[in-house]
Structure 1
Amino acid sequence: MEKSVLLCLLLLSSYSYVSARYDPPKSLVSTVTKNSILPIFSFTLNANEEYFIHIGGPYIVRSCNDGLPRPIVPCGSATCALTRRVNPHQCPPPNNTIINTRCACQATAFEPFQRLCNSNQFTYGDFAISSLNPSCPSVTFSNVYYLCIPKPFLSDFPPGVFGLVGLAPTPLAAWNQLTRPRLGLGKKFALCLPSDERPTNKGAIFFGGGPYTLGNIDARSMLSYTRLIKNPRRLNNYFLRLKGISVNGETILLAPNAFDFDVKGDGGVTLSSVTPFTTLRSDIYKVFIEAFSRATSDVPRVNSTTPLEFCLKPTKSFRVPQIDLELADGITWKMLSANSMKKISEDVACLAFVNGGDAVANAVVIGMYQMENTLLEFDVGRSAFGFSSSLGLVCGDFQTRP
């Protein structure tokens, strides 16, 4: 094996040690697939293990059903304390356990589809991911912290899915474990999530920043940026400051504080890679639907399709009203028809926004459908969120191989 490739495979010690012998990658990348069984996006680690992408997950969760012993994270360690800080708010804090007379840190994962909480050993191990460096197509990094969950917790996951990769703005998230001193990547990651309009369409996930090579261009040039804001009561989520929503250029009339956090930390505008469609709290949804209904008053209505309530029979002359999210700093996220209307059949198209009810935790949750076929960059180091307009069905055209 060539020396450079050997170093790629044995990239297991500190950044300073490696940098003296090997120029570490500036970014890592993997192909993203949309699963046909569960509404999840996944990518590959360790050559053949699929992990689904959870931008609200605080750390990596891995299926561990082999009964093998794993390294212990001590209960009193700083790492164990971090797991308590980012314990999913839906779940009670875990109790630690004793393994071979040692107090072993336990952490908790929240499975968002069945809404289950499960606690088990927090540990560490090796993970490998692909690189665009021709001399180093795969990089292995060691001592990566993850939660070791038994099989029953993942029983409904599709075959081949080993767990989830948490990408939340937390110290133990996957992107953060790739920064200094382990690999020295930038504190950012980017996604282009594929749609199911074309079953063979793929997407891409980047760690560490660009370039995001799309044909002959760097897609970073397509991005507009807005601020990421923090909610001290919801540390595992990314939030945007939303000023208003407009339909065909007219801002809908809402209460001045409609998108604000309340004293319990509820409210706000967040993003989710496990929520199929953008979800609006009832007071926002009702005004939004009224505006969209007026803008499509000349289009025949058809029966709803769960969970989508507002469905139309498109005509040849039908033009989908443009939906704009008016963000901070005068930035607008334009939701074009590809991300606002879901085609159900040749005669039925439904508005891809959902009524979350009165008691929903957030004012707005921007869901998977609105993020598909769009380049999204989470620049956590600068507290910035970059987004493009819809790229069409070209997520699979990003360079993900050397």
Structure 2
Amino acid sequence: MTSSLQLFTFSLLIFFSLCQSQPSHKPKALVLPVSKDPSTLQYSTQLSLGTPLKPINLVIDLGGRHLWMDCYTNYNSSTYQPGHCGSAACSIAKASLCDLCFGTPQPGCTNYTCLLDPENTIAGVAGYQEVATDVISLQALDKTMSDHGSWSQYQLSTPEIEIHIGRGVIIPKFIFSCTGDWLLRGLVNGTKGMAGLGKTQIGLPSQLSSMFGGSLPRKFALCLPSTLRYTTKIGAIGLPSTSKANGVIVFGDAPYLFYPSYNKSKVIDRSQSFSYTNLYINPVSFAGVYQGRPSAEYFIAVKSIMIDTKPISINSTLLSINKKGIGGTKISTIDPYTVLESSIYKAFTEAFAEELKAMKISKVAPVAPFTECFSRRMLGFTMVGVDVPVITFVFRNQNVYWKVYGANSMVEISPEVVCLGFVDGGLDTKTSIVIGAHQLEESVVEFDLASSKVGFSSSLLEEEAVCANFMF
């Protein structure tokens, strides 16, 4: 009996030793492409969904609570599963409301399913819709694995997840909400819904991380592309005007490597170039049916704004979030330009205009939605855009700064006119400062949900690179 037990124990030791010596074959990161539509100024991404896998285009919503899409139109997947009331999917999604559907059973219309409340944040419409699960696929980013050049399938810790080297990661039972096409109003043509990256359990970052048992870190980085309109220095480094080149979203832990446009063999590593500031929770959301619940959006604490090292005068109470959820600063991909509460906007634009007046730059007629526009003829040019005063956001913690240069502070209206790319949000705006997408373009912004912090990098343009030069 003793010898049998010893043999069994020895066998177990050999087994665990062999297991520990095997490579994990788990992806270090997952990647989605990002493109910008020049007419709507919306950013979209593409992933594959269903069986068989089909590509779908989704508008990116940084603060969106989850992924939602139109399932009523041309949706046919053998792996689609409605979220039946009391199921694990309903529990994870925190969807307690149960519903009956009296129409013909189909995706989006199934009896005894729980409901989520997706919101189209572009059009400001929302509604209760069926919770669902299906297979999705994203591209893996893992240099060690891709070096093999193999198309093999590797089994991961979650039995149903498998990696196709060179193709992507197949993930089952991804939770989303299934809506009708009525919710697509105002979204860029060809998109089927919205990809929510917000701070919820079923937002893309957290859900992807949980699918791998937490081995994929709960963080992501955005690199938003710009749409260039006129011949500039940026065009001189290899980008055509009216460029629609892709940016990226990187989920997990991977180096952010780019190449300069003049040399594809040179590597620019943005992984260590971040200035970090804390993320804060706004206890009150103003988003559609979520009003009154904690916000899923990304709030940070701006202490002051400087124009060429000179702080502007701001009512400091506007920079904090009060008990009603009003005030503070958030980051948005839905707002194309930074929105400032009226008193902040007035002080900001007056200080900026005074600096350009001192530079003898002529002011010209405003072009909506902007009020501060200038003659481009007298402005010099640098690698980071037109030569205008640097705008600096100063954060509350540890004197962290984020500088915004001409390419991100100004908007080219014509070859002769540029406008300050900030807009007046009015006196009764719920959030005092909304940092818009234009100000984030062509730089890497990292959101670390586990550490509750966000990192801002300097502009890629400083090194003659753009988001489209990301090295897969």
TM-score (norm. length: structure 2): 0.74
* 8 Å contact from structure 1 (residues 303, 311) kept in 2: yes
Please give the root-mean-square deviation of Cα atoms over the aligned residues, in Å.
Answer: 2.4
1:396 aligned onto 2:468: yes
Rg larger in structure: 2
Per-residue CA distance 1:68-105 (angstroms, 9 max, x = gap)? 695232444575466568xxxxxxxx963125895311
Q: Which of 331, 338, 344 is the matching residue for 2:407?
A: 338
Q: Which residue of 1 aligns with 2:233?
A: none
* 8 Å contact from structure 1 (residues 26, 209) kept in 2: yes
Q: Which residue of 2 aligns with 1:214?
A: 258
* 8 Å contact from structure 1 (residues 308, 354) kept in 2: yes
Q: Which residue of 1 aligns with 2:363?
A: 301
- Code of the aligned partner of 2:361: V
Q: Which of 373, 382, 385 is the matching residue for 2:451?
A: 382
Q: Which of 200, 205, 221 is the matching residue for 1:175?
A: 205
1:188 aligned onto 2:188: no
Between 151-160 and 254-263, the greater mean CA deviation after superposition: 151-160
Change (3 A) 1:72 1:49: closer
Q: Which residue of 2 aligns with 1:316?
A: 378
Q: Which residue of 2 aligns with 1:204?
A: 248
Between 147-156 and 202-211, the greater mean CA deviation after superposition: 147-156
Q: Which residue of 1 aligns with 2:321?
A: 261
Change (3 A) 1:31 1:354: same
Q: Which of 344, 353, 356 is the matching residue for 2:425?
A: 356
Unaligned runs of 5+ in 2: 1-18, 49-53, 151-164, 229-240, 260-266, 286-294, 381-386
- Code of the aligned partner of 2:390: Q
Per-residue CA distance 1:329-355 (angstroms, 9 max, x = gap)? 201100111110111112111000000
Change (3 A) 1:264 1:82: farther
Change (3 A) 1:300 1:217: closer
Q: Which of 62, 66, 73 is the matching residue for 2:69?
A: 62
Between 332-341 and 383-392, the greater mean CA deviation after superposition: 383-392
* 8 Å contact from structure 1 (residues 141, 182) kept in 2: no
Equivalent positions of 1:31-46 (< 5 A) are 31-46=33-48
Distance 1:82 1:233 in 2: 21
1:231 aligned onto 2:314: no
Number of equivalenced pairs: 375
Change (3 A) 1:68 1:204: closer
* 8 Å contact from structure 2 (residues 141, 254) kept in 1: no
How many Å apart are 1:190 and its aligned residue? 0.5
- Code of the aligned partner of 1:288: F
Per-residue CA distance 1:92-123 (angstroms, 9 max, x = gap)? xx963125895311111211222111321011
Decide which structure has greater strand share.
Answer: 1
Distance 1:31 1:20 in 2: 31
Q: Which residue of 2 aligns with 1:90?
A: none
Q: Which residue of 2 aligns with 1:143?
A: 173
Report the secondary structure of 1:381's partner residue: coil
Q: Which residue of 1 aligns with 2:128?
A: 119
* 8 Å contact from structure 1 (residues 190, 209) kept in 2: no
1:29 aligned onto 2:31: yes
1:73 aligned onto 2:83: yes
Report the secondary structure of 1:51's partner residue: strand
Aligned residues: percent identity?
31
1:251 aligned onto 2:311: yes
Distance 2:63 2:379 in 1: 40
Per-residue CA distance 1:40-95 (angstroms, 9 max, x = gap)? 2122211622222111101111220247695232444575466568xxxxxxxx96
Distance 2:303 2:326 in 1: 17
Change (3 A) 1:21 1:214: closer
Higher relative contact order (CA 8 A, sep 6+): 1
Distance 1:62 1:117 in 2: 12
Unaligned runs of 5+ in 1: 1-16, 86-93
How many Å apart are 1:219 and its aligned residue? 1.3
* 8 Å contact from structure 1 (residues 97, 103) kept in 2: yes
* 8 Å contact from structure 2 (residues 66, 196) kept in 1: yes
* 8 Å contact from structure 1 (residues 56, 236) kept in 2: yes
Per-residue CA distance 1:170-209 (angstroms, 9 max, x = gap)? 1110111111343631000001100001424221110112
1:326 aligned onto 2:402: no
* 8 Å contact from structure 1 (residues 222, 388) kept in 2: yes
